[in-house]
Amino acid sequence: MESNRLILASASPRRRELLQEAGYLFEIDPAQKEENRYDFLTGEAKTESLARDKALEVLARHKDCVVLGSDTLVLLEGECLGKPKNEADAAKMLEKLAGRSHRVCTSVCVAREGRVSSFRQVAEVTFRPLSQKEILDYVATGEPMDKAGAYGIQGKAAKFVSRIEGDYTAIVGLPVCRTCQLLQDFGILPKK
């Protein structure tokens, strides 16, 4: 008999919160995949490969469960902006994004023994122009350091965003509506 235990293959507090808010009970077992091993792929394909690999890696440890893997990247004119390496890298990313529009791609993969399904969701975000002081002050908060594109739209960087087009939760890191539909296809329903 198949288990309905759900495992989130991510250490992301944002994904955890979104899944909890949607009413799911789940365990967390983060994947250990090296994200830079897919640097040869384009941004959207990279997120899909990483989401799939994360789900399958964790499924190998929990064969009787349903595993949810996800990956998010910021794409600016063909350049992939992942998590910054350090504060200087974060500041450079924010300088590039200032006063411009960029795409945020989040891919989700759900896997269970013998079955794998995934999708990708893309949204567009526009930043207002930013001063050097605003960028440095934001970087000094530490918030950008574990986020694709060096910002969290749900955090202090919300004041930089002049417009979004698409699914806000996809920008945060987990497109909730489509993820819920996919989990339902795997027999996983919210508990509360």
CA distance 38 to 17: 27
In a domain, 40, yes or no: yes
In a domain, 150, yes or no: yes
Q: Which residues in the chain come in under a pLDDT of 70?
A: 1-2, 33-42, 192
Number of domains in the chain: 1
In a domain, 135, yes or no: yes
Domain of residue 104 covers 6-185
pLDDT recorded at residue 39: 63
In a domain, 190, yes or no: no
Catalytic residue among 39, 53, 64, 71: 71
Q: What is the pLDDT of residues 120-158, one digit of tens each?
A: 999 999 999 999 999 999 999 999 998 999 999 999 999
In a domain, 61, yes or no: yes
The residues with which 6 forms a beta bridge, in sequence order, are 66
Could you confirm whether 71 is annotated as catalytic?
yes
E-strand ranges in the chain read 6-8, 27-28, 66-76, 79-81, 101-112, 115-127, 161-165
Which CATH number does the domain housing residue 41 bear? 3.90.950.10
